[in-house]
Amino acid sequence: MNPGNEAKSERIDIRTTANVKRVLQEAAAARSKTVTEFVLDVALTEAAEVLAGQRLFLMDEAQWAVFMAALDAPVKAKPRLEALLREPGLFD
């Protein structure tokens, strides 16, 4: 979804406190954006993440059986992954 390609005909009004407005203005300035651009970018990113977690998966019975078999299959040991996870991370 690219909001830049459509004519802007709808309006969203938001009431907030002076402190919240100031924080949004500072964050927008840090990104060289208007408050409107900043708020829309952040809101659309979050909306995409929310919607991605709620997608509908349609499967016929055979596909469902394969899917369930994969979920029910025993866990396979992955020694290299286990070793990697035991190593200190970049921020440790």
46 is a domain residue = yes
pLDDT in tens, 1-34: 555 678 889 999 999 999 999 999 999 999 999 9
Identify the band that residue 63 occupies on the pLDDT scale cut at 50, 70 and 90: very high
Q: Domain range spanning residue 14?
A: 3-52
Q: How many domains does the chain have?
A: 1
Look-up: residue for tokens 């830049």?
Answer: 4
From the CB of residue 27, how many other CB atoms can be counted at a distance below 10 Å? 14
pLDDT at residue 90, as a whole number: 82
**Rounded to whole angstroms, how far apart are CA atoms 24 and 58?**
40
Domain annotation covers residue 88: no
